[in-house]
Amino acid sequence: MLRILLVFSGMVSVILGVLGIFLPLLPTTPFLLLASACFVKSSPRFNHWLITHKKFGPVIQNWQTNRAVSSTVRRRGAAAIVVSFCWSIWIVPLVWLKIILFLGLMLALTFFLRLPVNDLVD
């Protein structure tokens, strides 16, 4: 049962990651990393397909081997974080919620921008 749940979660994560290529507010890399983590524990075949994929593989391998992202991933990710949080802050009517969202933006951006960069793999 757990294996089926992990394969399903991995597939959904891959789909969301692919959508993130085309939708600017949906991050691609975290979903692909989540898919890889699910596939490692549930399906070696799907995991092999994902890490050897021409587009997705280098990002995942860079994270798995170096615990780093490329500067392109870092730039796009930071932009997505800022845009999505600013949109949320703008549409929320309550001031206290705007403050919490702003603090969340600062925390998320600080964490994300502190990730190591490795441009050897892109």
Residues 81-111: pLDDT tens digits? 898 889 999 999 999 999 999 999 999 899 9
Total domain count, the chain? 1
Residue 118 lies in a domain: no
Residues 6+ apart with CB under 8 A from 86: 105
Residue 57 lies in a domain: yes
What was the pLDDT predicted at 98?
96
Residue 120 lies in a domain: no
Residue 52 pLDDT class (50, 70, 90 cuts): very high
Residue 121 lies in a domain: no
Q: Is the pTM of this model over 0.85?
A: no
Residue 27 lies in a domain: yes
Residue 66 lies in a domain: yes
User: Is residue 67 left, alpha or beta, with left meaning phi > 0 and alpha meaning psi from -120 to 50?
Assistant: left
Residue 119 lies in a domain: no
Rounded Cα distance, 98 and 93, in Å = 8
Residues 6+ apart with CB under 8 A from 14: 31, 32, 35, 50
Residue 105 domain boundaries? 2-113
Residue 104 lies in a domain: yes
